[in-house]
Amino acid sequence: MRLDHLFASQPRTLSFEFFPPKNDRAWYTLEDTIDHLAPLGPDFVSVTYGAGGSTRSKTREVIEHIQSKVNVTAMAHLTCVGATRDELRALLDEYAAAGIKNLLALRGDPPKGQEHFVPTDGGCAYAKDLLDLIRADGRFSSLCAAFPERHPEAPSREADWGNLVGKFQAGATGAITQCFFDVADYRQMLEWLTPRLGKTPRIIPGILPITDFNALERFCVRCGANIPVGLRQHLAPLAQNPIAVRKAGIAWTVKFCRDLLAAGAPGLHLYCLNRSTAAAEVVTALRLSGDLT
């Protein structure tokens, strides 16, 4: 199903994000994860797109597996990294042939060893350019990325959110956020965008279920997200007890999701890191309390 059609009829969605496995063992883990999460009834799932050539075809393989085995709507991530516009168009042909109807259009991060993103000659410099290319193609529904705390390269939140306005105007029917941990950031972003777009944009919070403080720190460093002092203070005293950190982290994540939904979030997108347990615990808790139907 196309996500623009789904969004037109459904005010809230639940989705999970996976990444292509690096080896056979990781592939089996992912298959297991998908089998465990599918019964929770996600409205869609998404699969990331790597910087290296070999992981790129894996995005399509994972989506083909999901579509055939569990029959859940899938969205492929796609970046501008290392591809000319002609190569991107050829990839769109491949995706269309594989039955993919939804794309998350991204600029991508610089490949390993490169400090700054350098557009490929004849390629796209920004996600907005990729959205223009996808809109001209006409076969896909597309989403984009949003950054409640601002993208790390942007001089200010407003500068970054101004560029986000451009992505919606280029045809994104919704956005998924980078992980973040303060509801106020989400609320302020929506308040800033709404008058500029003439309506509240559909921005789905990306949620990292917290299970391990070191893993949380590593993830945040990688994506440029801040861990608020309150969350740090909440988890730090438990640092010597991984079970207590996990329990407190999941409880914190459930409350965060609840607060976001109360602030008007049109659903939740869980970064599962290819594991099912934490995401399933969060979703089950929200369903039991009636916060997520």
Ligand X SMILES: Cc1cc2nc3c(=O)[nH]c(=O)nc-3n(C[C@H](O)[C@H](O)[C@H](O)COP(=O)(O)OP(=O)(O)OC[C@H]3O[C@@H](n4cnc5c(N)ncnc54)[C@H](O)[C@@H]3O)c2cc1C
User: What sign has the CA pseudo-torsion 162, 167, 173, 174?
Assistant: negative
The residue within the footprint of ligand X, chosen from 4, 132, 149, 160 (CB under 6 A), is 160
The least CB distance from residue 86 to ligand X, in Å, is: 20
151 is a contact residue toward ligand X (CB under 6 A): yes
Distance CA 271, CA 275 (A): 9
Q: Give the active site residue among 17, 64, 115, 153.
A: 17
* Contact (CB, 8 A) for 32 and 287: no
Q: Give the binding range for ligand X (CB under 6 A) out of 47-55, 67-75, 235-243, 285-293.
A: 47-55
* Contact (CB, 8 A) for 90 and 78: no
The residue within the footprint of ligand X, chosen from 163, 252, 258, 277 (CB under 6 A), is 163
213 is a contact residue toward ligand X (CB under 6 A): no
Paired sense of beta strands 141-146 and 174-177, if any? parallel
Q: Give the contact letters, 249-278, x = binds to ligand X (CB under 6 A), - = no.
A: ------------------------------
* Contact (CB, 8 A) for 190 and 146: no
56 is a contact residue toward ligand X (CB under 6 A): no
60 is a contact residue toward ligand X (CB under 6 A): no
Q: What's the chain's length in residues?
A: 293
The residue within the footprint of ligand X, chosen from 18, 44, 49, 168 (CB under 6 A), is 49
The residue within the footprint of ligand X, chosen from 34, 37, 88, 106 (CB under 6 A), is 106
77 is a contact residue toward ligand X (CB under 6 A): yes
* Contact (CB, 8 A) for 13 and 28: no
Active-site residue flag, 17: yes
Return the SS3 of 86. helix
Question: With b meaning 16 or more CB within 10 Å and e meaning fewer, what string describes 76-112?
Answer: bbbbbbbbebeebeebbeebeeeebbbbbbbbbeeee
108 is a contact residue toward ligand X (CB under 6 A): yes
Q: Give the contact letters, 168-197, x = binds to ligand X (CB under 6 A), - = no.
A: --------x-x-------------------
- Tokens for 280? 């399933």
Residues binding ligand X (CB under 6 A): 48-49, 51, 77, 79, 104, 106-109, 126-128, 145, 151, 153-154, 159-160, 163, 167, 176, 178, 206
Catalytic residue set: 17
